[in-house]
Structure 1
Amino acid sequence: MAAATRGRPRAFDRDEALDRAIRLFWTKGYEATSVRDLSEELGIGQPSLYNAFGGKRALFDEAVGVYDSRYGGFIDAAIEEESTAVQAMRRILAEAPARYTRRGLPRGCLVISGDAGAEDADVHEVMSRLREEKRSQLASKIDADLAADHLPEGADPSALSAYVMAVLAGLAQRARDGSSRQELEAVASIAIAALP
């Protein structure tokens, strides 16, 4: 005879619920997303939300981590796969317009705008650190190119990597504001032309 299981099984698919939470945070940001919004979007009661995810903040942290691997990742891929920093920067800027305007997904980037208007200093700190990690990875690749004489002497890895990240932030915001992919591609082309 099979042993009886205790409690009711979860009446929802956790991965699907997490994906819905990612999209909600991506659309509204951490601060503007309430626990009630999450409960309604995920189709579960607030107690179930806390049991499954540990609350809004824990869910946001998990959502950001999964977002980067499921929907982001193009910056990491370019840094890892391209042989030079200039090729990586060009690829990042060229791919961003399509990434930020995908059909069926919120526009822009959760990593760039997820903490917009957040009063929670910890949320801002986590997101700021994530953005800084991306910039630092790119700066390290630029450093390596300088050492290998692939870039002109005097190129500033910190400024160049910050430039690329600033352009990405602008592209993401323009996408959220409704700009077309073609407009974003034109802006990215100007930014690419300005690279050393």
Structure 2
Amino acid sequence: MTAGNKLKRSETPTIGRPRGFDRDAALLAAMRTFWKQGYEGTSVQDLVTAMGVNKPSLYSTFGCKEEIFREAIELYDRLEGRATTQSLAEAKTARDAVETMLLANARAYTVTEGPRGCMIVLSSLLGAPENEGVRAFLAKNRLDGEMALRARLARGVIDGDLACSADLDRLAAFYTTILEGLSIQARDGASAEKLNMIIEAAMLAWPTG
């Protein structure tokens, strides 16, 4: 089912749903709850409270907890992933794209009005065996990000701003790891200044030949 179809489904009245129910706002509330508490740390009752629906309505509208989480991750990617998408698409050189991506995410990770760090990195790294499907889903999401970065590096080789001898797999993996590490630092309370210092050091590894 497409996102558009899901929105249309939400227009159908559901027993137990509050009058004036806003599906998009409810999903945003679920996203913020998962982002703050993690997948296993968020109970169905937490979602009921945050989203403003009762359990029967939650299940009939969104499905089970894992389905809500997957949809919340898709929403997070659309909203919070713009910093990465724009950096990779708009920067003039591959190096600028990587540095801008890291700096933009560092700013996003340390905003005061929301949870710190990246939801995709932090929400389910470890947990019970029965939630392996969730961890695999997030791992695939992170790998997709690494592949998008690699594609941007490959474009840099074509454009001539990155040497053709550069190891693209190594660079993509390295800077993806830096990005994920910034998320952990931010959740631990690191300042934007500290994250920028890490980014400055990481950019020293950029190949010059």
TM-score calculated relative to the size of structure 1: 0.90
1:116 & 1:79 partners in 2: Cα distance? 26
Paired residues of 2:110 and 2:192 also in contact (CA < 8 A): yes
Corresponding letter in the other structure for 1:192: M
1:155 paired to 2:162 = no
Q: Which moved more, 1:156-165 or 1:33-42?
A: 33-42
1:81 paired to 2:105 = no
1:168 paired to 2:176 = no
CA-to-aligned-CA distance 1:54-79 (integer Å, 9 cap, x gap): 12111101100011111222111111
Corresponding letter in the other structure for 2:142: R
2:27 & 2:157 partners in 1: Cα distance? 42
2:191 & 2:69 partners in 1: Cα distance? 28
1:116 paired to 2:104 = no
Shift of residue 181, structure 1, vs aligned partner: 1.3
2:83 & 2:66 partners in 1: Cα distance? 25
Shift of residue 128, structure 1, vs aligned partner: 0.9
Shift of residue 144, structure 1, vs aligned partner: 2.6
2:33 & 2:184 partners in 1: Cα distance? 17
**In 2 relative to 1, CA 90–9 (structure 1 residues): closer, same or farther, beyond 3 Å?**
same
| Structure 1 counterpart of 2:116, from 93, 100, 107 | 107
Corresponding letter in the other structure for 2:202: A
Q: Which runs of 4+ in 1 moved over 6 A?
A: none
Identical-residue share of aligned pairs (%): 34
2:100 & 2:149 partners in 1: Cα distance? 12
Shift of residue 7, structure 1, vs aligned partner: 6.2
| Structure 1 counterpart of 2:49, from 40, 46, 62 | 40
1:194 paired to 2:208 = no
TM-score calculated relative to the size of structure 2: 0.85
* Structure 2: gaps spanning 5 or more residues: 1-11
Paired residues of 2:15 and 2:57 also in contact (CA < 8 A): no
1:164 & 1:35 partners in 2: Cα distance? 36
* Structure 1: gaps spanning 5 or more residues: none
Shift of residue 18, structure 1, vs aligned partner: 0.9
Paired residues of 2:84 and 2:104 also in contact (CA < 8 A): no
Shift of residue 154, structure 1, vs aligned partner: 2.4
Corresponding letter in the other structure for 1:146: V
Query: Greater relative contact order (Cα 8 A, min sep 6): structure 1 or 2?
Result: 1
Question: 1:10 aligns to what?
Answer: 17
For residues 58-73 of structure 1, the aligned pairs below 5 Å read 58-73=67-82
Paired residues of 1:31 and 1:117 also in contact (CA < 8 A): no
Shift of residue 123, structure 1, vs aligned partner: 0.9
1:50 paired to 2:50 = no
Corresponding letter in the other structure for 1:31: E
